[in-house]
Chains A and B, each alone.
Chain A
Amino acid sequence: GEDVEQSLFLSVREGDSSVINCTYTDSSSTYLYWYKQEPGAGLQLLTYIFSNMDMKQDQRLTVLLNKKDKHLSLRIADTQTGDSAIYFCAQGSGGYQKVTFGTGTKLQVIP
């Protein structure tokens, strides 16, 4: 079955880079997503990567995919206090839109 795992918590200093990691189990995954959830809000789509890609960069965000190890990471450069939130990794698989979410990583940015 599909399973997505993330560490629960990450603390970084403002200005440093943050790296949030995720592992997934379904080798048939075609798309992998990163969402951000701020307190009291829904999930905001940050970026997504197709499984035949190794890397995707979007401004301060860099997504790296190691398909062999089924490992996905999100790097946030120059982390700001506004980046404090819960970050969810998700995998899409199957012949239709079945998306499985990880448990989320809470990022705390220390000023």
Chain B
Amino acid sequence: EAGVTQSPTHLIKTRGQQATLRCSPISGHTSVYWYQQALGLGLQFLLWYDEGEERNRGNFPPRFSGRQFPNYSSELNVNALELEDSALYLCASSLAGQINQPQHFGDGTRLSIL
């Protein structure tokens, strides 16, 4: 069974640009979660999508947005990039947005802002 896949592995941008990160969940999983892991910090919850709808959002500005497609893959968009957006962005998926379904993670996209 293929795991959660994320692309690209690395992404280098400059301040003010826009970044798009992609995630394909495990087959059969309908929920997708996005996290930011900045250097020296833990995981900060960004967004949760389930069945194409945004279900919950973390404490991030509106320039962080995303969507989930009919095939349950997801995109995270970050507009007007700032230096502090440099981080590892992790995507996770689960069978459904219920408490007894653990999240399975991809290897992340390393976003570097120059």
Chain A positions near chain B (C-beta within 8 angstroms): 30-31, 33, 35, 40-45, 48, 50, 88, 92-104
Closest to A40 in B: B107
- Residues of A with C-beta under 8 A to B96: 97
A44–B90 alpha-carbon span in the complex (Å): 12
Q: 13 A–B contact pairs at CB < 8 A?
A: A31-B99, A31-B102, A33-B102, A41-B107, A42-B106, A88-B42, A96-B97, A96-B98, A97-B31, A97-B94, A97-B99, A99-B33, A99-B45
Closest to A38 in B: B107
Whether the Cβ atoms of B100 and A30 lie closer than 8 Å is yes
B interface size (C-beta, 8 A): 28
- Residues of B with C-beta under 8 A to A42: 4, 6, 90, 105-108
A33–B103 alpha-carbon span in the complex (Å): 10
**B15 part of interface (Cβ distance < 8 Å):** no
Interface centre among A35, A43, A101 (most CB of B within 10 A): A43
